[in-house]
Structure 1
């Protein structure tokens, strides 16, 4: 069963803010910001692009547990989807995907600049060294709405 419909897939690649959280078995945790995403393996896996040096703890936790929570939030509306996965792979970043990151940044700027975020600040948040990028991918096993309001936390789908 596909947990994400086409509209939700399009949303994930629409200039959203992308954050991931991981925790160790001791429940120590951390959060890292991604700079873009795509779908891989015929659309079965979500792949996010991360700066490896930004959070060594994040990658240590992922290696130990294989689990992540991934949040996608559209700044102009606060619409938010959280996706969980427990089969995380960290792989080399495909250099051909640099254009996806630049496209994601352009869409993100269209979201945040009208809200008063200076473009220079957003570009600083997204700054990366291509040599530091990795691709993390996973198959979604649970999807939740996290948009603020009465339905926040509502389960949208779970893998069987």
Structure 2
């Protein structure tokens, strides 16, 4: 297990959380989209984040090996929030199994949000499990982003 990604954080990012992912273009302008599930692979040290290419084409287009990425993971039931920054290792189309996992993620999040009185129609257009791409990245920094006095606090990071 990476010193940056604890088993608790690995469970958190693969759980019922909303995800916002940002990559940047060659002029360093941010592009932002929603993630459709994530996993931490202890063996490789990569976080695999899934993004709908059809819905967030700029995020995917700017996700190049060696490029920077930031992903924010928010649990809607209590707004516990972490941001993980890193360097992209690779980007590939999702496998059939990963696409099925993405579809389960969408259904799970729509159900959870509905229980929190957010109508499916409000989110169904921004949660997408088709044409998924897997962006694998090595985490370099972890920040607590929950509202409060510790928002923005670095929890772990690679030092130069």
TM range (shorter): 0.7 to 0.9
Q: Tell me if the contact between 1:68 and 1:88 (Cα under 8 Å) persists in the aligned partners.
A: no
Name the CA distance, whole Å, in 1 between partners of 2:55 and 2:125.
Answer: 13
For the aligned residue pairs, the C-alpha RMSD in angstroms reads 2.1
Alignment of 1:44-59 (within 5 A): 44-59=45-60
**Paired position in structure 2 for 1:122:** 123
Segments of structure 2 that go 5 or more residues without pairing to the other structure are none
Question: Are the equivalent residues in 2 in contact too, given 1:13–1:104 (CA < 8 A)?
Answer: no
Superposed displacement of residue 25, structure 1: 4.4
Comparing 115-124 and 42-51, the one that deviates more: 115-124
Looking at structure 1, the residues matched to 8 and 153 of structure 2 have their Cα atoms a distance apart, in angstroms, of 18
| Between structures 1 and 2, the one with greater helix share | 1
1:84-141 superposed Cα distances (whole Å, 9 cap, x missing partner): 1113411121111233223323432343112211134333332332xx2111011111
Q: For residues 2-32 of structure 1, give each alpha carbon's deviation from its aligned partner in whole angstroms, at most 9, with x where no partner exists.
A: 2111111111111100111122343321101
Q: 8 Å contact 2:63–2:88 — kept in the other structure? A: no
Distance 1:11 1:24 in 2: 29
Specify whether residues 96 and 119 from structure 1 end up closer, same or farther in structure 2 by C-alpha distance, changes over 3 A only.
same
Partners of 1:22 and 1:30 within 8 A in 2:
yes
Distance in 1 separating the partners of 2:5 and 2:128: 29
**What TM-score do you get using the length of structure 2 for normalisation?**
0.86
Counterpart of 1:124 in 2: which secondary structure?
coil
TM, length-normalised to structure 1 = 0.86
State the partner residue of 2:105.
104
Aligned length: 158
> In the alignment, what sits opposite 1:12?
13
